[in-house]
């Protein structure tokens, strides 16, 4: 499995994922209205240094997307988001792709902290994040509105020092 930069040729796949209401609700977002809107967003953000978008692939087949957003090179922070196509769920892809994106944030972008927002009821996602050493830093009450309700979410984060400790600990086990 790999993650690679999002290309214009991936927009139809991304459009299909983004038009799944159940998927986009995990990101606390509405589905895109049209492929044209997505194409315009792609053009607008192609040179934006505050974002990195990746396609998750298994054997040249697109199976999801992972994004680093709100990249701040002064404070060295960014937000991470991930979606794995439901037909590829429960196969370990989310955990692997998430780890690859985190490694990219710390190794390539030199971030000091990676953070995310997650619905407190999304136990699978919280488990994946905790297994990557993310810690719950707080709870935001009724912070997002999706699926007709206001949702509480956790703010979770990982500091580079914790990431290094975890990585070095894994090297010792090899």
Which sequence positions are flagged as catalytic? Answer: 129
Burial class (CB in 10 A: 0-12, 13-18, 19+), 118: buried
Q: According to DSSP H, which parts of 19-159 are helical?
A: 21-24, 35-45, 93-107, 123-131
Output the CA–CA distances (angstroms, integers) from residue 8 to 11, 13, 39, 61, 108, in the order listed: 6, 10, 8, 16, 23
Q: Give the dihedral sign, CA 22/52/93/130.
A: negative
């Amino acid at each position: 499995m790999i993650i690679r930069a999002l290309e214009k040729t991936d927009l139809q796949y991304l459009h299909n994922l983004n038009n799944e209401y159940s998927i986009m609700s995990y990101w606390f977002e509405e589905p895109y209205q049209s492929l044209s809107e997505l194409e315009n967003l792609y053009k607008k953000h192609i040179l934006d240094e505050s974002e990195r978008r990746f396609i998750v692939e298994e054997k040249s087949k697109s199976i999801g997307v992972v994004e680093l957003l709100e990249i701040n090179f002064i404070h060295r922070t960014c937000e991470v988001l991930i979606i794995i196509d439901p037909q590829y769920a429960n196969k370990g892809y989310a955990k692997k792709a998430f780890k690859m994106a985190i490694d990219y944030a710390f190794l390539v972008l030199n971030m000091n902290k990676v953070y995310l927002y997650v619905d407190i009821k999304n136990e699978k996602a919280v488990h994946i994040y905790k297994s990557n050493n993310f810690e719950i830093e707080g709870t935001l009450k009724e912070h997002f509105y999706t699926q007709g309700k206001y949702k509480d979410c956790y703010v979770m984060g990982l500091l580079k020092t914790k990431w290094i400790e975890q990585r070095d600990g894994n090297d010792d086990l090899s």
